[in-house]
Structure 1
């Protein structure tokens, strides 16, 4: 049986969750995030431009670890790999999807919303999981509760995470990183305000550094 591939190495503990309406937005956005110290991004399959955007970043910005988000079907695995995605993420998981990413060798973060789902993903070989939707499930408190019976699992909470509350997640021992859309607000992306995105990325990077300094 195939086993999950390891995620690529990146420094940021904040993963921007990105929706693009035009693939031309992707490269300047990636460069703006890098300028703010964020070296990873999740381009979600929520628009027709997503695959072209992933391909553009993978080709033009090699320092950016670009992943494909909202991968929900086994048939999408080959598509995101062909586009150049270095890893994938999903809001959930199915046996078919997990089998497909393992067979393809695509590093992957499946989504879970309960201990049973987390245990099923662990049985399939995955130990880094996306907790989604984190805020609606109970936020920090639910991840604290999962940490007791599932101490060998780590999570990337996504959904309702912001600059204001990410520190409370990142201080948990079972949280590896957080995902959020606040770093790439739609209005800034549509306006091409890349300076704002760099500023938001730098704020997040500095907040993470401050957390590390106090631990």
Structure 2
């Protein structure tokens, strides 16, 4: 079945291996997080993406993080990924991503980066690192963004501060170490994912 109203949460599986990917991905999706990112500085990331796409089908949107070049965008697309997340704002990367029909979430901090990303066609903006910008900085940026712009906080976001960020006006979040760390078994990841989802939905 197609995804219906997915939670605005991106599960970041940094360090995942292909052998672990499907079981961990299934655990994350079972908790309700249906957008999955495999950073390209993980072991064999393209193979992990291929396996996740094959296993999860239309139940999840799968793609790559730490994407820095147009060639990497093409490699992720060829592996079946449909999501490109970057730590920075590079217009050629965003434009290539959109040409291939994929979602583009570039990392931004400043208004200049934010508007450059939107001009290039970004699906949404990744405020990164969110803890550096802080809630006051996020709200100042939010005030000048076009209505309807999706702004996700990534970097230092977890159960302890979900409520404050949501109340302040963030649209979603990327979850890294709070969701998964290399080598953690699927049952532990499921437990962590369940707690994060419960915290987000109750915030």
TM-score by length of 2: 0.90
Contact 2:94 2:121 in 1 (8 A): no
The aligned counterpart of 1:14 is 9
1:51, 1:108 → 2: CA distance? Answer: 17
Q: How many residues align?
A: 198
The aligned counterpart of 1:91 is 87
What is the root-mean-square deviation in Å for CA atoms of aligned residues? 1.8
The aligned counterpart of 1:168 is 164
> How far apart are residue 22 of structure 1 and its match?
2.1
Structure 1: runs of 5 or more not aligned = 1-7
2:43, 2:107 → 1: CA distance? Answer: 22
Q: Confirm or deny that 1:30 pairs with 2:25.
A: yes
Equivalent of residue 149 in structure 1, options 144, 152, 155 = 144
1:127, 1:108 → 2: CA distance? Answer: 5
Q: Against the structure 1 CA distance between its residues 111 and 55, is the aligned structure 2 distance closer, same or farther, given a 3 Å change threshold?
A: same
> How far apart are residue 127 of structure 1 and its match?
5.5
2:153, 2:190 → 1: CA distance? Answer: 22
Q: Against the structure 1 CA distance between its residues 10 and 44, is the aligned structure 2 distance closer, same or farther, given a 3 Å change threshold?
A: farther
Contact 1:32 1:197 in 2 (8 A): yes
> How far apart are residue 81 of structure 1 and its match?
0.7
Structure 2: runs of 5 or more not aligned = none
